[in-house]
Structure 1
């Protein structure tokens, strides 16, 4: 009986932890975004970085949301270089809880 209770507790704990685990998300402000081609260039450069899971660009707001694989961290110097390689200027960089809508 005790083994069953322990297994149920362990299973419930793993489900609880998995439900709360989130991939790290970063918001990157980029000066000069004006068209879908610009967005493509930024996305292409950022997707080359280790651990990048997804990249979403909001051209109107000049904002790129980068979601990382679980356990990976996005470093500002690498982002700054990727943005520069795409021909743009990094305006801001911050880790966020959830992507802003």
Structure 2
């Protein structure tokens, strides 16, 4: 039996300019934890990426991500929804 796509958590990858230190990462993490539906946050300072896992059925739009990143003082360079794991 297949479950609808909305039944699975959705992951997004954000490419962020200026993400250079743990304090920078904390600023973005703090903004994301205030966002409804955010389940998990993984930050790779070296790659300048933030991977956000949303709760089942929750979505993150490019506009939301841009606002969150800018509110933390950074620039969003890329926003991608990651393919669901099989």
TM range (shorter): 0.7 to 0.9
Deviations 1:55-92 (A, max 9, x none): 11000000000000000110111110110010000010
Stretches of structure 1 that go unaligned for 5 or more consecutive residues are: 1-12
Q: Does 1:43 align with 2:26?
A: no
Q: Which has the higher contact order (CA 8 A, sep 6+)?
A: 2
- The root-mean-square deviation of aligned C-alpha atoms, in Å, is 1.9
| Cα offset, 1:97, TM superposition | 2.1
**SS in structure 1 at match of 2:42:** strand
Report the count of equivalent residues.
83
Higher helix share: 1
Q: Which residue of 1 aligns with 2:8?
A: 22
Q: Given the alignment of the two structures, is residue 65 of structure 1 paired with residue 41 of structure 2, yes or no? A: no
What is the rounded CA distance, in whole Å, between the counterparts of 1:39 and 1:53 in structure 2? 17
Q: CA deviation at 1:49?
A: 1.1
Choose from 50, 74, 80 the match for 2:66. Answer: 80
Rg bigger for which structure?
Answer: 1
State the TM-score, normalized to the length of structure 1: 0.75
Structure 2 length normalisation: TM-score?
A: 0.87
Q: Would you identify which runs of 4 or more consecutive aligned residues in structure 1 move more than 6 Å?
A: none
Cα separation, 2, equivalents of 1:87 and 1:79: 13
